[in-house]
Structure 1
Amino acid sequence: MAGEILDNQGRGEASWQWPSIHPEGRKFGVAAAGIALVTIFLFDLELIGWPLLALAGGIFAFFRDPERVVPQDDNAIVAPADGLVTQIATVEPPAELVGDDGTGQVGLPAGSVTRISIFMSVFDVHINRTPIGGLVKRLVYMPGKFMSADLDKASEENERQHILIERTDGMLIGFTQIAGLVARRIIPFVKPGDIVATGQRVGLIRFGSRVDVYLPAGTASKVLLGQKAIAGETVLAELGQQTLIEGVAQ
């Protein structure tokens, strides 16, 4: 289905398929499966081998990389991560994304913006995607702690990676990959100077984490607190729209 155009009036074809496994995870899954099979069939230690085999299956599931249908709307900001919308707050954007980075490259303007935080559990897909298309202006890695990613201070204290994207019209969108309790490595797929399309894969975080998106001034969230987001598909916001949307948990 990759590259196929589908629309909201029935054009295209869609069917369920097994998601692929990202190469970053194959080595871990194969290693765990190999150890499990050796343990079971060579050493006859089934009490250890079968749990290891189950662990291999869990690793493959964690690194699954399904295809997504990305909305082709110039005003749409799409979710960069699968997971639960745990915070929608008015904050100052990270200093690493603001102003001049020392090379003459302009970053996000100073001032309060809306931040949407998406928490990824170990059961979610951990491939992250860009919320808009454009030029990768910055990629800033920050070492840090590994406290629970759903804490507000994780945005400033945990291991994290800031990404700044500039659209062709000059609009800048920043987002941050944040490691969590279990996560120990953030892996980028892009570098400054790369051109990316909306919803393109830009990196992953191993084993539980969070992604923050900083909306431009004058733009409000279209998702609700507690809503499930799907990377590359869920529209988080539309540029310039600030409509209040309410939901009921049921």
Structure 2
Amino acid sequence: MTIHKEGFGIIAVFFIAIAVIDAILFFTIGSGLLFDIFFAVSITFFLLVVSFFRVPKRTPVVGDNLIIAPADGKVVVIEETEESEYFKDRRLQVSIFMSPLNVHINWYPVQGLIKYFRHHSGLFLKAWLPKSSSENERTTIVIEKDKNITILMRQIAGAVARRIVSYSVEGEKVEQCQQEGFIKFGSRVDLYLPLGTKIDVKLNQKVTGSQTIIGRFSD
């Protein structure tokens, strides 16, 4: 299994902490059922942390007219709404909630030019709540696909997630399904698409980042 670079430091810290605790317990209470149980639990927890930073082997799905899922997870919002930070008009919002068990890499849903990037400090409300889009810690990335199509992608930290990593740089050209960043331990990604975009997914549908077609731009 390949491990994402964002996990190296955290995995090392967890490994050292678990090793120290297990050693202290062993020399305190000795071997026995209680130690065996704690040791098994600690190993299981460590493997879950390692699994969180896994990098799946995938062949990206690409297409000039397609919007590809920017994250693994479940679709929790499909609605027309007002986007107040950048567009300041009505957009079609599609939101994907990532549980701690999902792969937490984020991908660009389209190719294009990064026109706008901002990181906003904020709260750590549960990521599936509607107000998390405007009140939680988050990043906003605006991608100009061409002169007629511009979309907004927003990474949102959740109650468990405490760090958002984004590789976006204003003025940089990016490719569809290129890695955009990583959100650590539970989170959400919102897409704000032009009205009239054909949506191919449904509420509560599970989607796979860089694989599932979210929708298609209208001709």
| TM norm structure 2 | 0.89
- Structure showing the higher helix proportion among its residues: 2
- Cross-structure match for 1:119: 97
Secondary structure (helix, strand or coil) at the match of 1:25 reads helix
- Using the TM superposition, give the Cα deviation of residue 91 of structure 1 relative to its aligned residue in structure 2, in angstroms: 0.3
The question of 1:200 aligning with 2:182 is answered no
Task: Indicate whether 1:132 and 2:107 are aligned.
Answer: no
Verify the 8 A CA contact 2:72 2:209 in the aligned structure 1: yes
Whichever residue aligns with residue 91 of structure 2, its letter is: V
Partner of 2:143: 165
Which of the numbers 53, 69, 73 marks the counterpart of 2:43? 53
> 1: distance between equivalents of 2:84 and 2:210?
23
Shift of 1:184: 1.1
Please say if 1:70 is aligned against 2:29.
no
- Matched residue SS, 1:92: strand
Give 1:74's aligned amino acid.
Answer: D
- In structure 2, how many angstroms separate the alpha carbons of the residues matched to 1:114 and 1:136? 20
Q: By how many angstroms is 1:27 displaced?
A: 1.8
Alignment of 1:64-103 (within 5 A): 64-95=54-85, 97-98=86-87
**Aligned pairs for 1:1-20 within 5 A:** 18=1, 20=2
Q: Percent identity?
A: 37
2:119 corresponds to which letter in structure 1?
Answer: Y
In structure 1, runs of 5+ residues without a counterpart are 1-17, 99-109, 242-250
Q: For 1:174 and 1:91, how far apart are their aligned partners in 2?
A: 13
Structure 1 partner of 2:6? 24
RMSD (CA atoms): 1.8
- Structure with the largest fraction of strand: 2
**TM-score w.r.t. structure 1 length?**
0.79
Query: Which residue pairs with 2:217 in the alignment?
Result: 239
Higher relative contact order at CA 8 Å, sep ≥6: structure 1 or structure 2?
2
* 8 A contact 1:83–1:230 mirrored in 2: yes
Bigger shift: 164-173 or 202-211?
164-173
Structure 1 residues 36 and 50: CA distance shift in structure 2, 3 A:
farther
What is the Cα deviation at residue 43 of structure 1?
4.7
Q: Which moved more, 1:169-178 or 1:222-231?
A: 169-178
Q: Give the Å deviation of 1:153.
A: 0.9
Residues 203/81 of structure 1: CA separation in 2 closer, same or farther (3 Å cut): same
Post-superposition offset of 1:213: 0.5
Q: Who is 1:219 aligned against? A: 197
Letter in 2 for 1:21: I
